[in-house]
């Protein structure tokens, strides 16, 4: 069999696994709370891996490597990655336990808009409506970017039509989300997170080995672009601070903090922080 055949088989197995996870999660949903928030039974490891995959998949595996390849480490995306790492750790350390506790206190809220409305005693539900609309509008674009990444992956890896790949990814995603609910999305994201970690470890090792070792790679980079490995080349304090500030966005990202709401107990955020 050719390499292309192996790729198709691997992708088919992956898609089938996503569908199976969605159906399995559907069998675990007994009421609306289970469907929306997994009955607050999410393990810290699943929460951390699924949050990371949901947040960084296309950017971490396609966007960031591409920018660093073209421009080197001094580009703002490298500092952005550092800021996001710090922000994720602070998010788990400070936001996770408090949010997990207060969502139960605030009327046992199972969504972010409901929590905000209950926590701030919004009698007219205006805050719930406005925050729900904001999430719907902006996450439409956010989810669309993931579909675009899927389409580009199909186009570059299998030389298939971009739209076909995008629609296939969208169809599989909609299936396990609608059938599996929150747990279906979380466990499929966990699998994706594990694959991302494996790829981020394996690909550099294989690439460096095939190129003759780390010293050879470093010398080749230095000869091509001397400042490529210098984080501070061509940067400024304002530029670095602006890139690092991206980590602050974690504190208000609904698809991240909803994982905190679903944790079994506030204490389980500690192993989650380690996994993240």
**Which residues contact residue 177 at a Cβ distance below 8 angstroms, ignoring those fewer than 6 apart?**
22, 184, 185
Q: Judge whether 68 and 75 are in contact, CB under 8 Å.
A: yes
Please tell me the distance from the alpha carbon of residue 151 to that of residue 170, in angstroms, as a whole number: 9
Q: What ranges do the domains of the chain cover?
A: 3-275
Please tell me the distance from the alpha carbon of residue 4 to that of residue 1, in angstroms, as a whole number: 8
Please tell me the distance from the alpha carbon of residue 23 to that of residue 26, in angstroms, as a whole number: 5
Q: What is the pLDDT of residue 144?
A: 87
Q: How far apart are the first and last CA of the chain?
A: 38
Q: Six-digit token pair at 235? A: 């940067």
Please tell me the distance from the alpha carbon of residue 245 to that of residue 255, in angstroms, as a whole number: 19
Mean pLDDT per 10-residue segment, the chain (276 residues): 77 92 93 90 90 80 78 76 90 90 89 92 91 92 85 82 88 92 94 90 91 87 81 83 88 90 76 51
Q: Is 107 left (phi over 0), alpha (psi -120 to 50) or beta?
A: left
Q: Which of 253, 243, 251 has the alpha carbon at shortest distance from 80?
A: 243
Please tell me the distance from the alpha carbon of residue 77 to that of residue 197, in angstroms, as a whole number: 19
Q: Which of 58, 226, 238, 237 has the alpha carbon at shortest distance from 67?
A: 58
């Amino acid at each position: 069999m050719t390499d292309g055949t192996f790729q198709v088989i691997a992708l088919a197995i992956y898609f089938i696994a996503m569908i199976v996870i969605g159906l399995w999660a559907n069998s675990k949903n007994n009421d609306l709370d289970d469907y929306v928030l997994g009955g607050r039974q999410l393990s810290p490891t699943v929460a951390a891996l699924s949050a990371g995959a949901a947040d960084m998949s296309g950017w971490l595996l396609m966007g960031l490597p591409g920018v660093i390849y073209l421009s080197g480490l001094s580009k703002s995306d490298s500092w952005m990655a550092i800021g996001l790492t710090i922000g994720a750790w602070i998010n788990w350390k400070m936001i996770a336990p408090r949010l997990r506790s207060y969502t139960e206190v605030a009327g046992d809220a199972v969504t972010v808009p409901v929590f905000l409305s209950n926590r701030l005693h919004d009698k007219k539900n205006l805050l719930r409506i406005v925050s729900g609309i904001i999430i719907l509008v902006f996450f439409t674009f956010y989810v669309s970017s993931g579909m675009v990444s899927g389409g580009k992956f199909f186009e570059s890896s299998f030389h298939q039509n971009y739209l076909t790949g995008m629609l296939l990814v969208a169809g599989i995603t909609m299936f396990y989300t609608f059938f599996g609910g929150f747990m279906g999305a979380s466990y499929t994201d966990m699998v994706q997170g594990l694959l991302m970690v494996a790829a981020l470890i394996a690909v550099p090792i294989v690439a460096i080995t095939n190129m003759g070792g780390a010293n050879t790679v470093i010398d080749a980079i230095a000869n091509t672009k001397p400042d490529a490995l210098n984080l501070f080349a061509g940067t400024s304090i304002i530029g670095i601070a602006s890139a690092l500030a991206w980590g602050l966005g974690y504190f208000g990202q609904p698809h991240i903090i909803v994982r905190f709401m679903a944790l079994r107990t506030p204490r389980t955020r500690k192993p989650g922080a380690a996994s993240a």
